[in-house]
A and B are shown apart, each in its own frame.
Chain A
């Protein structure tokens, strides 16, 4: 198992000094926090019916992506991410700080491939009507695809756009692989800072859940939540996830680097661990979650769990079993509130953990099944759980500084 050791001798403490959120609940920390307190959930049950999605609360793009030309060069998933990344840099107080931005290391968790639906359906319709010349597809693609669409589809162009729009000139790595890509992005960034390879990193992802092409992909596996919204824990007999639009970015920084510039931490990121359960037999995934739980540093503070459980089965039932054996930890599901933002769900979980710690309270439960219970007092240790709907498991420990 690969993991990021929490506190090996000589390893530096890693702080979360910036958070950027653009979600279905709104943009920025205050709007998201307020919505969580009010138990607000933003779902669209009609636009993609019978599928349910959590649409992005519209943002004023110009405030983070001032050039219209840049906005046009991106598709929605990249705009959401570039926007949220800007918020994170603002939050850390390093927006426009050329000295820091020229060396910041980026680790981005990304999907990609946003389709031009009209081109696809145009080709299929023409073929259904008899177009069958050998070069038909080539000719249509040559004439119908926008030349820059490719750049809006490439996974690593989220990082590329962030670098261009916000002037980042350090290093840039893009991890793919659905949910666990977000875990691994945090894991590698943490390992690099903890070992002294890096001082400061921008980590996160973004996801546009309002995409029919993505719904098709997940419909292949019958993973989409349909007809009626219910909290993640209440979907056992009506399984599925509701795709969510969200961008979540974090600025991670060594304690020394943060202190030298007078930056205040939201929390510290103590450990990130990940694994790949075989998921061949019932219990495989739960056993892996237990192994990861045991690898996290000791939890003797006031603890809680924030999970990105998807609502898809059998993964969510496996995770419910794991959570039952840790029932003394109050649980919150980001999937219920924000929908499932795939690569972004884990960075979102870390962000909400850090926010809860810094605001001295876990946000209230939002659940009809009793899985989520009230928490009194301020959490000092929050475990973030990210188990993929199909593959990949991860956890992080976020602690009060």
Chain B
């Protein structure tokens, strides 16, 4: 059998398994049903007190419990569940024996407030300094916290649980992390290092300090009531993104390996691209050149032209700057097509799953290709007159979709795009 190669002579990379979890629910079926029905997963936070916060809603995943609770433990558990779903669908390898490496997008790990407060109480005095904390931290009483708060701990757990091969990579490219995890998997297969890769992205970091941090950068929506209406990408009255939790897992394989074992092919990762913006820590270069370059690189990587893209799964965070910038840069790349190609933002319903978003939205893009139906951008009541996207507003739309561009842009000048197709080009 001839190995199908892409236009650049590299192995074609296909998806054979997917697992997903968001504030809408667990699994592809539940998420897709709610997504096309235009349901929102955003709700008032109940996990911790919201007194004194400017933003009091988020897309939390409250139906998964971990004990003791930490954001890292929740991220780990969600990653485990979506990986189980993806592996069950792919039917690859054996139990705890995945035949390839793991690329994990995960939020930076740190000791969290519940644990810090536990230490504070253990000090047993009224004035507490870090020297006091340090004095009581050793001796084995808190050794589990060392393991829990290692940056590599989630990847190490997943690697052991699923038997991935080699050194698992934990990565962060901020809000583009999920896309980067897929890109690393694609590259490893294209280089011929492996026939399969497990790409997982997870984020369970809706906690008080994370919320405050984004709040202090004025990045979050404060339209708390009703919470379901807070995330309104491309609307004139959008005022920030909504933090959310979720996870996505994709089993990537070379087309040759997937067909050789008779696996069902769910879609193709036709192209990946990334480009750094060195303008500012949180803002895009005003000329949009890095994002434009990122989209163009992705098209070139896929060997495609703008007219071959028939749907854009936007980054669409609902921040004033992002959505405008995304339209301007898309226009620069796609010309007038930018006003014709149907565009949607899943974040209107699931919120911004940060480190997981790139993978979550890649999976939604693949489901869009499968169902030939584009999920809506909800809360699209007052379109921003300067954003002339053909937004799939409020109601899902049936459409012929053969190739989707999915965009992710993040703090630190991180830009990454993916092109997903139904069949090998």
Q: A residues engaging B (CB < 8 A)? A: 1-3, 5, 51, 73, 106, 110-113, 117, 120-121, 124-125, 127-129, 133-139, 141-142, 145-147, 149-151, 153-157, 159-161, 163-164, 167-178, 180-181, 183-184, 187-188, 191-192, 195, 197, 212-213, 215-224, 274-276, 278, 388, 390-394
Quick check: B213 and A145 within 8 Å, CB to CB?
Answer: yes
A169 CB contacts on chain B under 8 angstroms = 275-278, 290
Known interface pairs A138-B212, A156-B412; 8 further A-B residue pairs with C-beta atoms within 8 A, sorted by A's residue number: A141-B212, A142-B53, A155-B151, A167-B278, A171-B275, A191-B193, A220-B144, A388-B152
Quick check: B49 and A155 within 8 Å, CB to CB?
Answer: no
In the complex, the chain A residue whose C-beta lies closest to that of B197 is A2
Given contacts A125-B127, A150-B216, A177-B169, contact A164 B117 (CB under 8 A): no
How far, in whole Å, are A328 and B83 apart by their CA atoms in the complex?
Answer: 45
Quick check: B152 and A180 within 8 Å, CB to CB?
Answer: yes
In the complex, the chain A residue whose C-beta lies closest to that of B177 is A156
In the complex, the chain B residue whose C-beta lies closest to that of A140 is B52
Quick check: A220 and B138 within 8 Å, CB to CB?
Answer: yes
Quick check: B212 and A142 within 8 Å, CB to CB?
Answer: yes
Quick check: A138 and B276 within 8 Å, CB to CB?
Answer: no
What 0/1 pattern do residues 274 to 286 of B give for CB contact below 8 A with A? 1111111110000
B133 CB contacts on chain A under 8 angstroms = 124, 212, 216
B131 CB contacts on chain A under 8 angstroms = 212
How far, in whole Å, are A168 and B282 apart by their CA atoms in the complex?
Answer: 16
- The distance from the CB of B136 to the nearest CB of chain A, in whole angstroms, is 9
Q: Which of B172, B188, B194, B290 contacts A156 (CB 8 A)?
A: B172
* Interface footprint category on B: 35 or more
Cβ of B165 within 8 Å of any chain A Cβ, yes or no, is: yes
Cβ of B113 within 8 Å of any chain A Cβ, yes or no, is: yes
In the complex, the chain A residue whose C-beta lies closest to that of B282 is A151
Quick check: A174 and B173 within 8 Å, CB to CB?
Answer: yes
Quick check: A172 and B413 within 8 Å, CB to CB?
Answer: yes
Q: Chain A at the B interface: mostly helix, strand, loop or mixed?
A: mixed
How far, in whole Å, are A223 and B150 apart by their CA atoms in the complex?
Answer: 13
Cβ of B381 within 8 Å of any chain A Cβ, yes or no, is: no
How far, in whole Å, are A156 and B186 apart by their CA atoms in the complex?
Answer: 21
In the complex, the chain B residue whose C-beta lies closest to that of A147 is B216
How far, in whole Å, are A219 and B135 apart by their CA atoms in the complex?
Answer: 9
B119 CB contacts on chain A under 8 angstroms = 124, 216
Quick check: B412 and A157 within 8 Å, CB to CB?
Answer: yes
In the complex, the chain B residue whose C-beta lies closest to that of A278 is B160
Quick check: B130 and A222 within 8 Å, CB to CB?
Answer: no
How far, in whole Å, are A276 and B155 apart by their CA atoms in the complex?
Answer: 10
Q: Which of A127, A195, A393 contacts B120 (CB 8 A)?
A: A127
The contact sample of 15 A-B pairs, CB cut-off 8 A, is A124-B117, A124-B120, A127-B117, A128-B126, A142-B216, A151-B217, A151-B282, A155-B151, A156-B414, A168-B278, A172-B274, A174-B173, A180-B152, A191-B193, A197-B191
A192 CB contacts on chain B under 8 angstroms = 187
**Residue among A121, A146, A394 having the largest count of chain B Cβ atoms under 10 Å:** A121
Q: Which of A127, A159, A171, A275 contacts B166 (CB 8 A)?
A: A275
Quick check: A73 and B281 within 8 Å, CB to CB?
Answer: yes
Quick check: A213 and B111 within 8 Å, CB to CB?
Answer: yes
Quick check: A177 and B412 within 8 Å, CB to CB?
Answer: no
Cβ of B110 within 8 Å of any chain A Cβ, yes or no, is: yes
A177 CB contacts on chain B under 8 angstroms = 150-152, 155-156, 168-170
Question: For window 134-187 of chain B, which residues contact chain A by CB distance below 8 Å?
Answer: 134, 137-140, 142-147, 149-153, 155-156, 159-160, 165-174, 180, 184, 187
Quick check: A220 and B413 within 8 Å, CB to CB?
Answer: no
Q: Which of B127, B130, B276 contacts A168 (CB 8 A)?
A: B276
Cβ of B307 within 8 Å of any chain A Cβ, yes or no, is: no
- The distance from the CB of B78 to the nearest CB of chain A, in whole angstroms, is 18
How far, in whole Å, are A262 and B149 apart by their CA atoms in the complex?
Answer: 45
Cβ of B84 within 8 Å of any chain A Cβ, yes or no, is: no
Quick check: B167 and A183 within 8 Å, CB to CB?
Answer: yes
How far, in whole Å, are A155 and B169 apart by their CA atoms in the complex?
Answer: 14
**Residue among B155, B194, B217, B279 having the largest count of chain A Cβ atoms under 10 Å:** B155
A221 CB contacts on chain B under 8 angstroms = 143, 146-147
**Residue among B106, B109, B116, B171 having the largest count of chain A Cβ atoms under 10 Å:** B171
How far, in whole Å, are A311 and B46 apart by their CA atoms in the complex?
Answer: 44
Quick check: A2 and B194 within 8 Å, CB to CB?
Answer: yes
Cβ of B67 within 8 Å of any chain A Cβ, yes or no, is: no
Given contacts A124-B116, A142-B215, contact A172 B165 (CB under 8 A): no
Cβ of B227 within 8 Å of any chain A Cβ, yes or no, is: no
Cβ of B129 within 8 Å of any chain A Cβ, yes or no, is: yes
Quick check: B413 and A176 within 8 Å, CB to CB?
Answer: no
B165 CB contacts on chain A under 8 angstroms = 1-2
A274 CB contacts on chain B under 8 angstroms = 166-167
- The distance from the CB of B414 to the nearest CB of chain A, in whole angstroms, is 6
Quick check: B52 and A138 within 8 Å, CB to CB?
Answer: yes
Quick check: A138 and B53 within 8 Å, CB to CB?
Answer: yes
Quick check: B279 and A178 within 8 Å, CB to CB?
Answer: no
Quick check: A176 and B128 within 8 Å, CB to CB?
Answer: no
Quick check: A145 and B216 within 8 Å, CB to CB?
Answer: yes
Given contacts A1-B165, A141-B212, A145-B213, contact A157 B411 (CB under 8 A): yes
Given contacts A150-B217, A160-B281, contact A184 B413 (CB under 8 A): no
Quick check: B184 and A188 within 8 Å, CB to CB?
Answer: yes
Quick check: B188 and A2 within 8 Å, CB to CB?
Answer: yes
- The distance from the CB of A395 to the nearest CB of chain B, in whole angstroms, is 11
In the complex, the chain A residue whose C-beta lies closest to that of B135 is A219
Cβ of B209 within 8 Å of any chain A Cβ, yes or no, is: yes
Given contacts A173-B180, A219-B134, contact A184 B149 (CB under 8 A): no
How far, in whole Å, are A339 and B213 apart by their CA atoms in the complex?
Answer: 32
Quick check: B108 and A161 within 8 Å, CB to CB?
Answer: no
B193 CB contacts on chain A under 8 angstroms = 2-3, 5, 191
Quick check: B167 and A392 within 8 Å, CB to CB?
Answer: yes
Question: For window 339-375 of chain B, which residues contact chain A by CB distance below 8 Å?
Answer: none
B263 CB contacts on chain A under 8 angstroms = none
Quick check: A156 and B174 within 8 Å, CB to CB?
Answer: yes
- The distance from the CB of B6 to the nearest CB of chain A, in whole angstroms, is 14
Quick check: A174 and B172 within 8 Å, CB to CB?
Answer: yes
Quick check: B280 and A164 within 8 Å, CB to CB?
Answer: yes
Quick check: B216 and A154 within 8 Å, CB to CB?
Answer: no
B290 CB contacts on chain A under 8 angstroms = 169
Q: Which of B143, B159, B216, B275 contacts A170 (CB 8 A)?
A: B275
Q: Which of B143, B159, B276 contacts A220 (CB 8 A)?
A: B143
How far, in whole Å, are A129 and B216 apart by their CA atoms in the complex?
Answer: 27
Quick check: B276 and A51 within 8 Å, CB to CB?
Answer: no
